[in-house]
Structures are given as C-alpha cells and as structure tokens.
Amino acid sequence: MEHLTGTLALTFATFAISAFSVWVAGARLAYLADALSDRMKLAKSVVGLVFLSTATSLPEIATTLTAAVQEARALVLNNLFGGIALQTAILAMSDFWAHGAITNYPRKANHALEATLLVLMLGVVIVVLMLGEPLSFGGVGIGSVIIALVYAGALWLLRTYDGANDWVPVDLPDPDPLPFPAPTGLADASTPNLITQALIACGAILVFGFLLVISAERLAVQTGLGTSFVGVTLLAAATSLPELTTSITAVRMGAYTLAISNIFGSNLIMLVLVFPADILFRDGPILRTDAPMVIASLGFAIVVTAIFLTGLLIRRKPKVGAVGVDSVLVLISFAASLFVYYQLR
C-alpha cells in the first residue's frame, strides 16, 4: 500500500510539472502568434484556425496516434470527441477575462461559419457511427475518409471566405481589450527570431503534453477509474491544456478572434484526426463501435457548439454579470456532460 501511494504521488507530481510547463509554453505561444499575425499581416482568425490550433493540438495528435497503434479504440475516440465539449467550455471560461460577451466582438461571419462546419462534421461522424462503417479499404473505413475530405473542404471554404465582405454587422460594441502588455522585446524581435521562439514553444507543448498524457493514463490505472471515463475527462483535459492557456492569454490581450478560431480550429482537428488514427488502427475501422459514451460525447459537442453559434448570430444577448449567457449555458452543458460520462463509465 505504501509503495502504491508513493507511485501515485510521483504520477501526480509528473502530471503537475508537465501541466505547468504546458501552461507557460502555451501562454508564450499566444503572444508569439499575435505578434506574427501583425508582422506578417495575416488575419488573426486565420492564424488561430491554422497555426495556433495545430500547435495546441500537438498533444492530441501524439496521444491519438499512439493509442491507435496500441489499438486502444475507446481511448482514441473518447479523448477526441470528449475533448470537443471540453475545449468549447475553455472558450466559455475565457469569457471571464473579456469585456462583455466574447461572441459580441467578431466583425465578420468567419466564426459562425467555423461553428456551422464543425456541427456538419459532427453530424457526419454520428451518421458513420450509426451505419457501423459498412465499407472499408485495407482496414480503413470509408467514413473516416469522408471526414477527412469534409475537413479539407471546410478549410478551403474558410480560407476563401476570409476575404469576403458579404456579411456586415451593424451597431456593435467597439472592442475594448484589457490592457495587458506583451512580453518585453517581442515587438523588436526579428521575424526569424519570433518563428524560432514559436517552434521552441511548440516543441515544449509536444514534449510536456505527451508526459501529461502518459501521467493521465497512469492515473487511470492507479485510481481505478478506468480508461473510458479518464479518456473523456482527465485525458481530454490534459491534452486541452494548451488551448486553455492560449485562449485565456489571447483574450487578456484583446485578441478575441484569435481565441475563438483557436478553439473551433482545434475542434475541427480533433475530428479529422479520426482518419490517421483509422490508418494506424489495425483491428478494423476505428469508427465501427456503438459505445454509448462515444455517442454521448458527440451529442454534447453539438450542443455546446450550437450554443456558441447562436451567440455569434444574436448580437444583443443577455449577460450574467460580465459574462455572456451563451458562455454560461456552455459551462452548464459541460458540467452535465461530466455527470453523464460518469454514469456511462
């Protein structure tokens, strides 16, 4: 018993140190992404959707592909799909650092389009699950291929739409970001230096994020909670920590579009990761499952995304204190999802 307690304490310590390291690297990456978007004259929504979301998804990518090779179907799917509701809840939590509801600030329909395409992809995944992946080629299901194609089409549409001006909001509050100075010397740093720092931050997120995942898996065994429940809760939280720190930092800087695109972009990546996972998973199509927790996590992902989509479309929404009611509803929905996951474990 004493040995087990010591091992558990060591696992918790590894988890805590890795979490702190990911937090620091993620916060720095948010500053660097904001500086690079200004330096290279790129829209912050594009930087958040493509660069920041990919960088903060590195732990999910490493975890998913490793678990797929180990043929841990439940861990792969629960981590990916459970992480979507969690990351959307992260965006809701970052609303506490914004001036007013965060969904009031976007001036274009990019984020509403991101949310709509995310709901579309979630619907496709549910249909594939219900059909049980009837067709496969070399062990790879046709459904995961379709998901990858839909993702590619979504990226193309979002990139094309970024320059459009056919949706113009009227009479909106002017953005009033919190005063939060960037790190000293960032504005004077050269572009190669900024890129180098960003790569170092990405490397730190990957390494410590992977340690975070390993310690979370060990906690699942040592605490007896099981991989399904831990996969959809603790493991999803561990791999979503970079999104948490980058989103909060971006909002504190007033880079609201960067924060929103970071989360929606990460959620889209969570879905398309099904395709490479299916290639590495050799025990048949990875989406050939009827696990209730997988279906529930997809359902909650649709709920929280639809709530924020509604918030993006309804500009004058009520607030609860300084937080938008949409963020409050997302947090309530996420809390409900945890209760449901625990019942289904």
User: Confidence band (pLDDT; 50, 70, 90) for 134?
Assistant: confident
Predicted pLDDT at 124: 93
**CA gap 79, 268 in Å, rounded:** 14
User: Where are the chain's structural domains?
Assistant: 2-344
Angle, helices 142-161 vs 110-131, to 10°: value is 170
pLDDT of residue 260: 87
Domain 2-344 annotated CATH 2.60.40.3710: no
* Single-letter code of the amino acid located at 282: R
DSSP state of 324: E
pLDDT in tens, 94-108: 888 877 788 877 777
pLDDT in tens, 181-227: 445 466 677 888 888 888 898 888 888 877 877 777 777 677 766 55
pTM over 0.85: no
Lookup: tokens for 249: 């930092």
d(CA 210, CA 76): 14
- Cα torsion 148, 152, 157, 159: sign: positive
Cα separation of 183 and 266, whole Å? 25
Let me know: does 13 contact 211? Beta carbons within 8 Å: no
User: Average pLDDT, stretch 74-97?
Assistant: 86
Q: What local confidence, expressed as pLDDT, does residue 176 receive?
A: 47
Task: State CA 14 to chain mean position distance.
Answer: 23
